[in-house]
C-alpha cells in the first residue's frame, strides 16, 4: 500500500507539474497519498476483497433492476469512454459510476474505494511510464538527470497520460458498477440470452468460483504460517512461500475433485443451471438511464466547446 501511495503521489505531481503552483501541487499529491494510506490501513483488517465483491453485489439496492438493462447501460458507457478522447467525459463517467454504486446501490464508500485500489497499481505504473521520456538534452517542463541524458516530462506526455488514465479509470468504474449491482448468476443469464457458447460460460463461472476458493485457502495458510513465525526472517519467508505454493497446488486438485463429486451428486450432466427470478424493465429505470446518457452527452459537448 505504501508503494501505491508513492506511485500515486508521483503520477499526480508529474501530471500536473507546470499547470499549478508547486506548493499547491505538493499539497494535493501528499493529500492523495495520505488518503490511500488511510484506506490501506483500514483495508488490512477487512475480509477478502473477492468475497466482499460478491456479497456487495447481492446486497446492492440495484440488484432488483433488470440485469440486461444494467449490462447494456454500463457496457455502452464503457465503450463510449474508451472510444472518445475526452478527459471531462471520462471524469464525469468516474463520478457518475461512483454515485450510482454508492448512492444508488447503497454500497459503503470505503468499500468502493478499497476495491478501486486493486487495479490502481497497474494503472499507476502505466501512467508513470507514459509520463516519462528519455532525451539526450534538457527539454519539456521537467528534466531529471539520468545517466548520460535526462528523463523529461513534456506537455504531450502529460496530456497523453491524463487521457489514458482517465479512460482506464472510467472503464474500471463501469465494470465495478456492473459487478457491484449484478450477481454473477444474473450476468450468466444475460450472456446466455446473447447466445454465448455454453463452454465459455461454464469456464467463466468455474474460474470465478475457484478464485474465491483458492483465495480463501491461501488466506488461511498465510494466517497459519504467520502464527508459526513463518515470516520471521528471509530464509523463513522463502521456505514458507515454497511450502505454501506446494500445498496450494495439492489442495486445489483436491478441491476440484471434491467439487466435481458434489456436482455429480446433484445430477450434473455437463450443463450448469442457475435459478434466476424474472425482473421486469421499468419505465423509471429506462428514464434514469436516458437521463444519465443525456447528462454525459452534455458534459462531452461542453468539454469540446471550452477545451
Q: Give me the domain span that covers residue 153.
A: 2-183
The answer to whether position 239 is within a domain reads no
Q: Which residues lie across from 149 on neighbouring strands?
A: 146
| % of residues, the chain, pLDDT over 90 | 26
The answer to whether position 158 is within a domain reads yes
The answer to whether position 294 is within a domain reads no
49 CB-near residues (< 8 Å, 6+ apart): 114, 115, 118
- Whole-prediction pTM value? 0.82
Q: State how far the Cα of 240 lies from the Cα of 252, in Å rounded to an integer.
A: 18
The answer to whether position 281 is within a domain reads no
Check residue 307 and give its pLDDT: 62
Given pLDDT bands bounded at 50, 70 and 90, which one contains residue 44? Answer: very low
The answer to whether position 246 is within a domain reads no
Given pLDDT bands bounded at 50, 70 and 90, which one contains residue 41? Answer: low
The per-residue DSSP string of 6-18 comes to HHHHHHHHHHSBT
Check residue 47 and give its pLDDT: 45
| pLDDT tens digits along 251-294 | 888 888 888 888 888 887 777 777 778 888 899 999 999 999 99
The answer to whether position 264 is within a domain reads no
Total domains in the chain come to 1
The answer to whether position 55 is within a domain reads yes
Return the sign of the alpha-carbon dihedral for residues 62, 67, 69, 72: positive
Given pLDDT bands bounded at 50, 70 and 90, which one contains residue 45? Answer: very low
| pLDDT tens digits along 126-184 | 888 888 888 888 888 888 888 888 888 888 889 999 999 999 999 999 999 999 999 88
40 CB-near residues (< 8 Å, 6+ apart): 1, 2, 4, 5, 117
The answer to whether position 282 is within a domain reads no
Amino acid at each position: 500500500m505504501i508503494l501505491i501511495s508513492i506511485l500515486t503521489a508521483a503520477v499526480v505531481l508529474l501530471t500536473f507539474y507546470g499547470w499549478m503552483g508547486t506548493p499547491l501541487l505538493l499539497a494535493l499529491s501528499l493529500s492523495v497519498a495520505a488518503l490511500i494510506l488511510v484506506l490501506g490501513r483500514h483495508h488490512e483488517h477487512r475480509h477478502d476483497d473477492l468475497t466482499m465483491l460478491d456479497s456487495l453485489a447481492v446486497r446492492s439496492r440495484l440488484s432488483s433492476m433488470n440485469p440486461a438493462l444494467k449490462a447494456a447501460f454500463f457496457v455502452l458507457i464503457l465503450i463510449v469512454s474508451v472510444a472518445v478522447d475526452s478527459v471531462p467525459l471520462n471524469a464525469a463517467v468516474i463520478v457518475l459510476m461512483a454515485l450510482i454504486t454508492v448512492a444508488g446501490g447503497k454500497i459503503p464508500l470505503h468499500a468502493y474505494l478499497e476495491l478501486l485500489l486493486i487495479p490502481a497499481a497497474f494503472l499507476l505504473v502505466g501512467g508513470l511510464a507514459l509520463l516519462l521520456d528519455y532525451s539526450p538534452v534538457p527539454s519539456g517542463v521537467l528534466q531529471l538527470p539520468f545517466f548520460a541524458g535526462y528523463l523529461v516530462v513534456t506537455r504531450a506526455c502529460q496530456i497523453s497520460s491524463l487521457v489514458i488514465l482517465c479512460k482506464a479509470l472510467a472503464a474500471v468504474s463501469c465494470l465495478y458498477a456492473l459487478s457491484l449491482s449484478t450477481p454473477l448468476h444474473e450476468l450468466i443469464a444475460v450472456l446466455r440470452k446473447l447466445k454465448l457458447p455454453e463452454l465459455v460460460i461454464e469456464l467463466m463461472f468455474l474460474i470465478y468460483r475457484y478464485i474465491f476458493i483458492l483465495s480463501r485457502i491461501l488466506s488461511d495458510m498465510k494466517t497459519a504460517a504467520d502464527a508459526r513465525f513463518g515470516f520471521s526472517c528471509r530464509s523463513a519467508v522463502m521456505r514458507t512461500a515454497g511450502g505454501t505454493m506446494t500445498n496450494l497446488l495439492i489442495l486445489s486438485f483436491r478441491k476440484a475433485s471434491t467439487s466435481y463429486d458434489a456436482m455429480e451428486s446433484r445430477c450434473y450432466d455437463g450443463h450448469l443451471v442457475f435459478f434466476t427470478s424474472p425482473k421486469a424493465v421499468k419505465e423509471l429505470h429506462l428514464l434514469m438511464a436516458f437521463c444519465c446518457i443525456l447528462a454525459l452527452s452534455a458534459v462531452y459537448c461542453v468539454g469540446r466547446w471550452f477545451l
